[in-house]
Amino acid sequence: MKREVVIIGAGVVGSSIARELSRYNVDVCVLEKASDVCEGTSKANSGIVHAGFDAEPGTLKARFNVAGSRKMEALSRELDFSYKRNGSLVLCFSKDGYPQLEELKKRGESNGVEGVTILTGDEVRKMEPAISDEVVAALYAPTGAIVCPFGLTIAMAENAAVNGTEFRFNEPVTGIKAGGDGFVVTTDKGTYECKAVINAAGVYADAIHNMVCADKIHITARKGEYCLYDKKVGGTVSSTIFQLPGTYGKGVLVTPTVHGNLLLGPTATDTPDKEEVNTTKVGLDTLQATAAKSIKTVPYRSVITSFAGLRAHEDGGDFIVGESSVKGFYDAAGIESPGLSAAPAIGEFLAGEVAGYLGAIEKSDFKATRKGIPNVALASKEERDRLIKENPLYANVICRCELVTEGEIVDAIKRPVGATTLDGVKRRTRAGMGRCQAGFCSPKTLEILARELGTDITKITKHGEGSEFLSEHKGL
């Protein structure tokens, strides 16, 4: 198959690049090894739009973080995903931390982060009554925000698809050959001849890069475990609460999510296995104990789930973004935190670079906006009435915890880059994300998936082949 550009990876970075590149008259294909967008690092992170005071000035992390953070709010309106500017606090527990706090403030200022101030312990507790009495001071960044990482990724992918980008799932890239005036990308299903390749392969970006480039890079998967708590304790804090950073990134944070849950995490442990997304007793105990430093009471009994994600930490410690040593091969590698915040800016930058390289021109018919799936749970009575009149399926509640209706689930399946798995439906609609964790809704969601996809219920998976739920009786 011939394509002008192949993007490898449909996480938040790949989807952002795809969306930005779909502004241009370029034939783009996104290859994803998983069954859906947002299946790797993008689905298991803190959901934070970092203000940008943490990254060392002059690094790509600083540059794309601040730029991405500035773009995010407008993007959330354009593409209709959940975003909330809730501000962030970095807590300092002893006077010894003051110099570090000052340093962070300076970093923030030189990175161009607006409104960074230092508050006293009492000022912090006035703002956030749940904060520990041990806190003596904190850095406050009003531009810190929270975002739905699934919503962001899916919105960008959908918008890219509407503007002509092709997404191919369950296609791991097995080889790339550079030659002539382009590349041949091989997957387990076929080959793609293209002029440019963009590597957005997350924790595997080193493997993809090293297929082509002589200068090797190396990515370590750094596991972060999280606990998510019931919405009834979602109001514990309103800002995102960090602790002064240690050796491994930004430490354990305490934050509300855009959907109103409380989230604690992540831990940081390096793992040689790039699929090791299990949680551990030590990890979960550690993160709750560490979070207990920040807030007066950790609502242990209200946990509704725990999960782990892997950050792609490159040995150099910074993002690798731009054209590699091989012409036409572009990297977005080592995108660990603040990668989610940076994604919109990385996408815009790389799309510009690649378009320039190909001499592509902007489309006249680019559709810049996208409307998300109606959200019955958040809709007013009048809106619900209107939705139900339009389609009675919007009255049929499937997930009672999050009040997700059959109409929304059918939408999730039928939209561009639609859901084909239970996890896909969950990330698009929140069905199964509530306190019963899909106990009641999963049988119904499986039925709807099977019906809408025209397949048997035993073929429906959690997240792709091998994760089937149901089978026939043996011997039948």
Partner 1 sequence: MNTKIAIIGGGPAGLAAAVSAYDAGVKDVVILERDDKLGGILNQCIHNGFGLHTFKEELTGPEYAERFIEKVRERNIECLLKTIVVDLSESQGGGVTVTAMSAEKGMFEIQAEAVVLAMGCRERPRGALNTPGYRPAGIYSAGTAQRYVNIEGKMPGHEVVILGSGDIGLIMARRMTLEGAHVKAVAELMPYSGGLKRNIVQCLDDFDIPLKLSTTVTDIKGKDRVESVVLSKVDEKNNPIPGTEEEIPCDTLLLSCGLLPENELSSMLGVDLSPVTGGARVDESLETSIPGVFACGNVLHVHDLVDYVSGEATEAGKHAAEYVLGKTPAGEEASIALETGNGVRYTVPSFVRPGRLENFLTVRFRVGNVYKNPEICVYLGDKCLQRRKKQICAPGEMEQVMIKKSDIEAMAPGETIRIAIETEQEAAQ
The footprint of partner 1 (CB under 8 A) covers 227-228, 275, 277-281, 283-284, 303-307, 381, 384-385, 388-389, 392-393, 395-397, 400, 403, 435-440, 442-443, 447, 457-458, 461-475
With both helix axes pointing from N to C terminus, report the angle between 441-453 and 422-429 in degrees, rounded to the nearest 10. 110
Give yes or no for a contact between 22 and 375, defined as CB atoms under 8 angstroms apart: no
CA angle 382, 443, 434 (to 5 degrees): 55
Shortest approach of partner 1 to residue 400 CB, angstroms? 7
Shortest approach of partner 1 to residue 34 CB, angstroms? 11
Which is nearer to partner 1, 181 or 472 (by Cβ)?
472
Comparing CA positions, the residue from 174, 290, 181, 175 lying closest to residue 225 is 290
Shortest approach of partner 1 to residue 76 CB, angstroms? 27
Which is nearer to partner 1, 371 or 381 (by Cβ)?
381
Look up residue 406 and give its amino acid: E
Give yes or no for a contact between 241 and 89, defined as CB atoms under 8 angstroms apart: yes
Rounded Cα gap, residues 145 and 83, in angstroms: 7
Which is nearer to partner 1, 7 or 264 (by Cβ)?
264
Shortest approach of partner 1 to residue 444 CB, angstroms? 9
For residues 394-415, b (16+ Cβ closer than 10 Å) or e, as one string? bebbbbebbbbbbbbbbbbbeb
Which is nearer to partner 1, 106 or 232 (by Cβ)?
232
Shortest approach of partner 1 to residue 6 CB, angstroms? 26
Which is nearer to partner 1, 334 or 407 (by Cβ)?
407
DSSP 214-247: SS---EEEEEEEEEEE-GGGTTS-SSEEEE---S
218 is a catalytic site residue: no
User: H or E element: which one contains 11?
Assistant: none
Shortest approach of partner 1 to residue 447 CB, angstroms? 8
Rounded Cα gap, residues 6 and 276, in angstroms: 27
DSSP 74-135: HHHHHHT--EE---EEEEE-SGGGHHHHHHHHHHHHHHT-TT-EEEEHHHHHHH-TTB-TT-
Residue 99: cis peptide before it, omega within 30 degrees of 0? no
Give yes or no for a contact between 152 and 12, defined as CB atoms under 8 angstroms apart: yes
Query: Per DSSP, what are the bridge partners of residue 323?
Result: 330
Return the DSSP state at 133: T
Comparing CA positions, the residue from 24, 77, 74, 8 lying closest to residue 363 is 24
Structure token pair of residue 346: 């990385």
Which is nearer to partner 1, 101 or 397 (by Cβ)?
397
Catalytic residue among 50, 209, 259, 313: 50
Backbone angles phi, psi at 60, to 5 degrees: -70, -30
Which is nearer to partner 1, 116 or 425 (by Cβ)?
425
Comparing CA positions, the residue from 350, 100, 324, 376 lying closest to residue 205 is 324
CA dihedral 69→71→72→73, nearest 10 degrees, is: 110
Shortest approach of partner 1 to residue 11 CB, angstroms? 18
User: H or E element: which one contains 67?
Assistant: helix 60-79
Shortest approach of partner 1 to residue 442 CB, angstroms? 6
The three-class DSSP label of residue 348 is helix
Which is nearer to partner 1, 142 or 443 (by Cβ)?
443
Q: Which residues are catalytic?
A: 50
